[in-house]
Structure 1
Amino acid sequence: MTQVRSELTRYLRTETVGGALLLIAAAVALLWANSPWADSYLRMTETVVGIQHLHLEWTLADWTKNGLLAIFFFVAGLELKREFVVGELADRRRAALPIVAAVGGVVTPALLASAVGFGIPGMERGWAIPVATDIAFALAVLAMTGSRIPASARVFLLSLAVVDDLLAIVLIAVLFTAALSLLWLLAATACFGGWALAQHKRISTPVLYVPLALVSWYALHEAGIHPTLAGVVLGLLTRVRPDPGERQAPATRLEHLIQPISAGLCVPLFALFASGVPLDTRVFGELFTDRLALAVILGLLLGKTAGIFGISWAAIRLGIAKRPMGLGYRDMFALSVLGAIGFTVSLLMAELALGDVGDGSAVELAKAAVLVTSMTASLAGSALLLRRGRVHQARRDRRALQREE
């Protein structure tokens, strides 16, 4: 268990740095897209590169959301597998709270967004935009402002966000699969089977795994399924328990190798290409009047907070789950507000759901709503965490004084 906790600490540290880089990349994109050099930003994002005969002629922006995010989802799959097998979620009672909280944090914003945006073009899939919590962004805010909160807060938020991402991945598979090619789906399944078999046979050479990963990613794309799903499937198929005498399990080795690339390069680059939304007077004017923008804002800010905290409170009161050690309900409310930071996957959902709606203004408006709401949630969550941190520090100081007396 000590090794598991050290891995959790390393994961949080890397994601915190990645979250800071994500914020910087998003800020650069926003400033660039709203500067006199906005045309150069647009030319960069729309530059087409790829291989024509493989049907992979994409813009650089498309490569970041279809390619780089597959690496991000692979790390999420590894972390999810580790948490369920040997981590905090291996204990059913401990796992119950973040799991039910994640479900509440997906269902409530989806229902609220559907109600607010009912009948709007694109909302038949756009309701999924506010369902995801951004792991890197939320953990970065928690690390910067919640250092005096008990460590169980980090475990709860990480577990919640990982399960939340898994549910978002399932939604991507269900909502954004158009014409399904069974032949290519079988090819992807064969690659997944080959990966699982190689893990079972304790094969370790990247000469086998890299081609399997690339072919499975391409096969899912050709099958009509969003190719980033290959990442999470391969992560879930990777062995997390070390053999006797084995220093580290494959999942741990891969996390050490790939997570810094994901958190430090892939996610920030996606943010750079996805966050450049022109924030002109029209967008600002419509943010609080347009039903699409309101659906995203209310779904994220109110739906996520109410869904996460409400179902957590109910589960604890009913005895279904246990409250994290050292955390009060006010601490959990602050963490629930952080759950409303829906950056990476929410931006991806906006592009997938609204990319073919009208002239593209719907995508820009939805992305602007995600950005504004995520910043609002981060500021509100930070204020609450700082306040709760002072309360916890005062309690520790009182206990220290009592021991000295």
Structure 2
Amino acid sequence: MGISTEPEIDTFFRYLLKAKFANTQSEGKRFDDDYHREMFKNDINNILQLKHNPSEVKKFLENTFTYYTQLYTKIWKSYSNYGNGFDHVFFNKLNEMDGQFLLILSSCKLNDAEEDEKIEKISYELDRFFALHQLQNAYESNVFNQTLYKISSEIRDGTLDNIRGTFDKYLLEQLSKQRNSEAKEPIQYAFFRNTGINLNMRFKRYFFARIEKFIAENTNLNMKHPFENLVTKTGPKNGFHIEHILSRNEENLKLFNEDEDTFEQERNRLGGILLLKGKDNISSGNESYLQKLKSYNNTLYWNETLREDFYKSKLDIRNFKNKYSLDEMIPLSTKFGPDELESRQRLLFKMIKIIWN
């Protein structure tokens, strides 16, 4: 689902009509073309009563149209720029999750007293829904988009109370189906353990941007780079790229019994990769781990957690670790092999459970 280049008022009407009258993706398609005609067909007109009815048209414009255009504009402002009040609306934009327009318009009833809470809640839940699908190898775009309509139909004009339960119901259903194993929790380590190689590059950058933000906020540190840049900038000089902690060399291959397939799978797990700025990524090359460790100094905080000097005499770091029981968050200053990689994967799992609780 995406925002088109058509006039914004047409995009608004399509989302509104889908939000209020479509229970499935196929039902929503009726509004993709000439939605003006669809509004006056019997099933819709029986509700809106706009056909040949000037008084109802006036009432619609003064009430329904005015309220929902203002709501749409509020969402759009946070969608367009980071820091406009609803961070997760912007995060969803970075992942091209425009289904939040459908879901928020669906959930908010006319002059909804819980409007701001619903924008915040739904944008967060959609981000969580998407991320936990991705991080557990359960994302399939067609099914995902179809599911958003099911969620829309269940939260339509509803209350805040049923939003998390509705998202979780479909999350568990899809996890169970895709992983061919019953999902009892929204996130399970067995589903996350090997995640990394399957993810697209943009989501990997987004994931590490969220980890970076999480560390910064909880240790009273400022982000070193704008959040959006970590996700969207990809140029060779100032862009951000994925870095393998384990370079492809004979020394590292021996750590995995010289099994090429295992080595490639393991070094691509999220615990075995980092986000580096372009020139840093190039300079680290295929060096040994101890040489790479030097190049991680003054990069992103997640990278620096590998280094001993990140922890020295820093009370905020210790408090952060203790608050969330992040026992695996320790310097790895001598070696990085299978055990260390597994420890980093488990540390990320703990952080995921907090960020997308």
Indicate the TM-score class for this superposition, using the shorter chain for normalisation. Answer: under 0.3
Greater helix share, 1 or 2?
A: 1
Higher relative contact order (CA 8 A, sep 6+): 1
TM-score w.r.t. the length of structure 1 is 0.21
Larger Cα-atom Rg: 2
